[in-house]
Amino acid sequence: MHLSRHAVRGLGLVMTSLLPSLALGAPDAARQAQLENLLKQDCGSCHGLRMTGGLGPALTLEALAGKPRDSLIATVTYGRPGTAMPGWQPLLSEQDIAWLVDTLLHGYPKP
Ligand code: HEC
Protein backbone atom coordinates (compact mmCIF):
# COMPACT_ATOMS: atom_id res chain seq x y z
CA MET A 1 0.00 0.00 0.00
CA HIS A 2 1.25 3.46 -0.83
CA LEU A 3 0.64 6.16 1.75
CA SER A 4 0.69 9.72 0.48
CA ARG A 5 2.89 12.18 2.33
CA HIS A 6 -0.29 13.82 3.57
CA ALA A 7 -1.58 10.59 5.06
CA VAL A 8 1.74 9.91 6.77
CA ARG A 9 1.75 13.35 8.36
CA GLY A 10 -1.85 12.83 9.50
CA LEU A 11 -0.87 9.55 11.10
CA GLY A 12 2.03 11.25 12.87
CA LEU A 13 -0.33 13.80 14.38
CA VAL A 14 -2.64 11.10 15.64
CA MET A 15 0.29 9.26 17.20
CA THR A 16 1.73 12.28 18.97
CA SER A 17 -1.65 13.28 20.34
CA LEU A 18 -2.37 9.78 21.62
CA LEU A 19 1.04 8.77 22.88
CA PRO A 20 1.36 10.96 25.97
CA SER A 21 -1.87 9.62 27.45
CA LEU A 22 -0.88 6.05 26.62
CA ALA A 23 2.68 6.29 27.87
CA LEU A 24 1.96 8.29 31.01
CA GLY A 25 -1.22 6.78 32.39
CA ALA A 26 -2.58 7.16 35.88
CA PRO A 27 -0.05 7.13 38.73
CA ASP A 28 0.73 3.59 39.94
CA ALA A 29 -0.41 2.31 43.34
CA ALA A 30 2.73 3.44 45.17
CA ARG A 31 2.47 6.92 43.72
CA GLN A 32 -1.23 7.07 44.55
CA ALA A 33 -0.40 6.32 48.19
CA GLN A 34 2.14 9.17 48.19
CA LEU A 35 -0.38 11.50 46.62
CA GLU A 36 -3.04 10.59 49.14
CA ASN A 37 -0.55 11.36 51.88
CA LEU A 38 0.19 14.71 50.29
CA LEU A 39 -3.52 15.44 50.04
CA LYS A 40 -3.93 14.85 53.78
CA GLN A 41 -0.71 16.45 55.00
CA ASP A 42 -0.06 19.31 52.60
CA CYS A 43 -3.36 20.17 50.99
CA GLY A 44 -5.02 19.32 54.31
CA SER A 45 -2.90 21.86 56.17
CA CYS A 46 -4.89 24.58 54.40
CA HIS A 47 -8.05 22.82 53.27
CA GLY A 48 -8.56 20.77 56.42
CA LEU A 49 -7.65 17.15 57.13
CA ARG A 50 -11.14 16.16 55.98
CA MET A 51 -11.21 18.84 53.24
CA THR A 52 -13.88 20.79 55.08
CA GLY A 53 -11.92 24.02 54.80
CA GLY A 54 -9.52 26.08 56.87
CA LEU A 55 -7.27 28.75 55.44
CA GLY A 56 -8.41 27.44 52.04
CA PRO A 57 -11.99 26.67 51.03
CA ALA A 58 -13.66 23.28 51.50
CA LEU A 59 -12.86 20.71 48.79
CA THR A 60 -15.63 18.30 49.65
CA LEU A 61 -17.94 16.70 47.10
CA GLU A 62 -20.60 19.32 47.89
CA ALA A 63 -18.17 22.25 47.74
CA LEU A 64 -16.81 21.21 44.34
CA ALA A 65 -20.17 20.34 42.80
CA GLY A 66 -20.54 21.98 39.40
CA LYS A 67 -16.94 23.20 39.20
CA PRO A 68 -15.31 22.18 35.93
CA ARG A 69 -12.53 19.59 36.25
CA ASP A 70 -10.29 21.62 33.92
CA SER A 71 -10.45 24.76 36.01
CA LEU A 72 -9.72 22.80 39.21
CA ILE A 73 -6.72 21.22 37.48
CA ALA A 74 -5.55 24.68 36.40
CA THR A 75 -5.91 25.98 39.98
CA VAL A 76 -3.84 23.11 41.40
CA THR A 77 -1.27 23.40 38.60
CA TYR A 78 -0.70 27.15 38.67
CA GLY A 79 -2.14 28.17 42.04
CA ARG A 80 -4.21 31.32 42.48
CA PRO A 81 -1.89 34.31 42.36
CA GLY A 82 -2.62 36.78 45.13
CA THR A 83 -3.99 34.03 47.41
CA ALA A 84 -2.34 31.43 49.63
CA MET A 85 -3.03 28.69 47.04
CA PRO A 86 0.37 27.70 45.63
CA GLY A 87 0.96 26.18 42.20
CA TRP A 88 2.03 22.52 42.36
CA GLN A 89 3.59 22.29 38.91
CA PRO A 90 7.17 22.23 40.28
CA LEU A 91 6.37 19.19 42.46
CA LEU A 92 3.68 17.22 40.68
CA SER A 93 3.20 15.88 37.17
CA GLU A 94 0.11 16.56 35.10
CA GLN A 95 -1.04 12.99 35.84
CA ASP A 96 -0.50 13.48 39.59
CA ILE A 97 -2.59 16.66 39.55
CA ALA A 98 -5.36 15.07 37.48
CA TRP A 99 -5.41 12.14 39.94
CA LEU A 100 -5.71 14.51 42.92
CA VAL A 101 -8.55 16.46 41.31
CA ASP A 102 -10.38 13.27 40.31
CA THR A 103 -9.95 11.94 43.84
CA LEU A 104 -11.55 15.13 45.20
CA LEU A 105 -14.31 15.05 42.57
CA HIS A 106 -15.19 11.50 43.65
CA GLY A 107 -15.40 12.65 47.27
CA TYR A 108 -12.44 12.62 49.65
CA PRO A 109 -12.08 11.29 52.26
CA LYS A 110 -14.44 8.44 51.53
CA PRO A 111 -17.18 8.31 54.16
C1 HEC B 1 -0.94 27.36 51.87
C2 HEC B 1 -2.34 27.00 51.80
C3 HEC B 1 -2.81 26.04 50.73
C4 HEC B 1 -2.28 24.82 50.39
C5 HEC B 1 -1.07 24.13 50.97
C6 HEC B 1 -3.14 24.28 49.35
N7 HEC B 1 -4.15 25.16 49.07
FE8 HEC B 1 -5.61 24.90 47.67
N9 HEC B 1 -6.32 26.77 48.06
C10 HEC B 1 -5.87 27.61 49.05
C11 HEC B 1 -6.65 28.83 49.03
C12 HEC B 1 -6.48 30.03 49.96
C13 HEC B 1 -7.58 28.69 47.97
C14 HEC B 1 -8.63 29.72 47.50
C15 HEC B 1 -7.99 30.66 46.52
C16 HEC B 1 -8.96 31.75 46.12
O17 HEC B 1 -9.36 32.52 47.00
O18 HEC B 1 -9.27 31.81 44.94
C19 HEC B 1 -7.35 27.38 47.38
C20 HEC B 1 -8.07 26.86 46.33
C21 HEC B 1 -7.99 25.56 45.88
C22 HEC B 1 -8.86 24.96 44.90
C23 HEC B 1 -10.00 25.65 44.16
C24 HEC B 1 -11.25 25.44 44.96
C25 HEC B 1 -12.45 26.04 44.30
O26 HEC B 1 -13.50 25.98 44.93
O27 HEC B 1 -12.37 26.56 43.18
C28 HEC B 1 -8.47 23.67 44.76
C29 HEC B 1 -9.09 22.61 43.85
C30 HEC B 1 -7.36 23.46 45.64
N31 HEC B 1 -7.09 24.63 46.31
C32 HEC B 1 -6.70 22.26 45.78
C33 HEC B 1 -5.54 22.09 46.51
C34 HEC B 1 -4.76 20.88 46.50
C35 HEC B 1 -5.10 19.62 45.72
C36 HEC B 1 -3.69 21.12 47.31
C37 HEC B 1 -2.54 20.19 47.60
C38 HEC B 1 -1.84 19.63 46.44
C39 HEC B 1 -3.83 22.46 47.85
N40 HEC B 1 -4.96 23.02 47.34
C41 HEC B 1 -2.95 23.05 48.75
C42 HEC B 1 -4.84 27.35 49.92
C43 HEC B 1 -4.00 26.24 49.89
Q: Number of folded domains in the chain? A: 1
Are 77 and 8 contacting, i.e. CB atoms less than 8 angstroms apart?
no
Rounded distance from Cα 53 to ligand 1 centre (Å): 9
26 or 35, which is more confident?
A: 35
CA-proximal residue: ligand 1, atom 8 (nearest)? 85
Is a pLDDT exceeding 90 seen at residue 103? yes
With respect to residue 77, please indicate whether it lies within any of the assigned structural domains: yes
With respect to residue 11, please indicate whether it lies within any of the assigned structural domains: no
pLDDT of residue 31: 97
With respect to residue 95, please indicate whether it lies within any of the assigned structural domains: yes
Q: Ligand 1: residues within 6 Å at CB?
A: 38, 42-43, 45-47, 55-57, 59, 67, 72, 75-76, 80, 83-86, 88, 100
With respect to residue 81, please indicate whether it lies within any of the assigned structural domains: yes
CA-proximal residue: ligand 1, atom 36 (nearest)? 43
With respect to residue 3, please indicate whether it lies within any of the assigned structural domains: no
Give the closest residue to 42 by CA, choosing from 29, 27, 59, 30: 59
Give the model confidence (pLDDT) of 79-98 as tens digits: 999 999 999 999 999 999 99
**Boundaries of domain holding 68:** 26-105
With respect to residue 1, please indicate whether it lies within any of the assigned structural domains: no
- Give the CATH number of the domain where residue 98 resides: 1.10.760.10
With respect to residue 79, please indicate whether it lies within any of the assigned structural domains: yes
CA-proximal residue: ligand 1, atom 5 (nearest)? 43
CA 90, CA 97: separation in Å to the nearest integer?
A: 11
With respect to residue 36, please indicate whether it lies within any of the assigned structural domains: yes
